[in-house]
């Protein structure tokens, strides 16, 4: 695997993007299943398993929840744009950009070898 020397601001933006996505994912699990008020439902019983899918009534999101979701989405868009349009990508040969972007996504996954400063 080729190692790319990512600029620190690009590394920081990628880390912030991953952290914000994780925060949003955790927050989304606390929300009602529908953003708007919606009646629940119960599906037909499955032939061989007897399983019956269902959803309870959803009260919809509160105004605060709508605002929080919008704030997360705006931040994710901002960070994603910052990562994708960073000038670093212009310094690479055309065929290397995809590999470099995949490596950037995992640059914070592995610890640095001993003797090197942590990112």
Q: Region 95-104: what's the mean pLDDT?
A: 92
Q: 65-84: per-residue pLDDT in tens?
A: 999 999 999 999 999 999 99
In sequence order, which residues have a C-beta less than 8 Å from that of residue 43 and are 6 or more positions away?
52, 53, 54
Q: Region 32-36: what's the mean pLDDT?
A: 96
Residue percentage of the chain with pLDDT more than 90: 76
Cα→Cα distances 108→13, 41, 90, 91, 97, Å: 12, 43, 22, 22, 18
pTM: 0.81
Measure the CA–CA gap between 62 and 41, rounded to whole angstroms.
Answer: 21
């Amino acid at each position: 695997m080729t190692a790319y020397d990512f600029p620190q601001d690009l590394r920081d933006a990628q880390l912030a993007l991953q952290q914000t996505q994780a925060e949003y994912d955790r927050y989304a699990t606390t929300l009602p299943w529908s953003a708007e008020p919606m009646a629940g439902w119960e599906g037909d019983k499955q032939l061989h398993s007897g399983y019956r899918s269902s959803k309870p009534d959803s009260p919809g999101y509160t105004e605060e929840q709508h605002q929080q979701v919008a704030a997360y989405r705006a931040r994710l868009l901002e960070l994603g744009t910052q990562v994708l349009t960073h000038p670093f990508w212009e310094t690479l040969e055309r065929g290397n950009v995809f590999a470099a972007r995949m490596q950037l996504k995992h640059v914070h996954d592995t610890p640095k070898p001993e003797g090197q400063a942590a990112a």
